[in-house]
A and B are shown apart, each in its own frame.
Chain A
Amino acid sequence: DAGITQSPRHKVTETGTPVTLRCHQTENHRYMYWYRQDPGHGLRLIHYSYGVKDTDKGEVSDGYSVSRSKTEDFLLTLESATSSQTSVYFCAIKGAALANYGYTFGSGTRLTVV
């Protein structure tokens, strides 16, 4: 299985502070994604990357930015955290054709904004 790790696993932060979540992969996959999961909404795409320094917005990108300076790392930054950004954040990588392009997800980061 592809190696993908997210850090931190849990974080509590105050409203108005910047927060950065990290996603690290060991498989050299090109595509990486950030989703948030909320009750009643399922998984919604925040941003994704299709290569180093190549990123694009998803459905719920307002208030978030991303960076990908290396293939293995994809960072998600909440520029000024708000209570509406309390959520569970998942990073995913897209597998190869042999794996039917299935996504492998990290274990998630539970973020609470107080």
Chain B
Amino acid sequence: TQLLEQSPQFLSIQEGENLTVYCNSSSVFSSLQWYRQEPGEGPVLLVTVVTGGEVKKLKRLTFQFGDARKDSSLHITAAQPGDTGLYLCAGDHQAGTALIFGKGTTLSVSS
């Protein structure tokens, strides 16, 4: 089984702080996606990255795909309580295969 390792597993910070979540694998991914999940709901897609070295920004969130397409990071600037949730990375090794998910990072932002 190809694995996606996410770190840290838990993160508790104050409003206004910056943070980075990492997603790593020993395997190359065709694409990598980031999802956010709130309690009692299914994950919601934030972004997809497909090109090595690609950087995408979504307001205060910055996503990067590693040059070798084996790792990715999610950086949040000036975190807000509304950012609280479970962040999941997921990748597929080739088009048409199902996504493999990391175990997630639980983020708690307090005001």
Contacts and interface: CB of A to CB of B under 8 A. Distances in A.
Given A33-B98, A40-B103, A58-B98, A103 B88 contact: no
B1 A59 contact: yes
Contacts of B45: 99, 102-104
Interface residue tally on B, bucketed by range: 20 to 34
Given A58-B98, A59-B1, A101 B103 contact: no
B42 interface: yes
Interface residues of A, number: 24
A107 interface: yes
Contacts of B42: 90, 92, 105-108
Contacts of A99: 45
Interface of B: 1, 31, 33, 35, 40-45, 48, 50, 88, 90, 95-96, 98-104
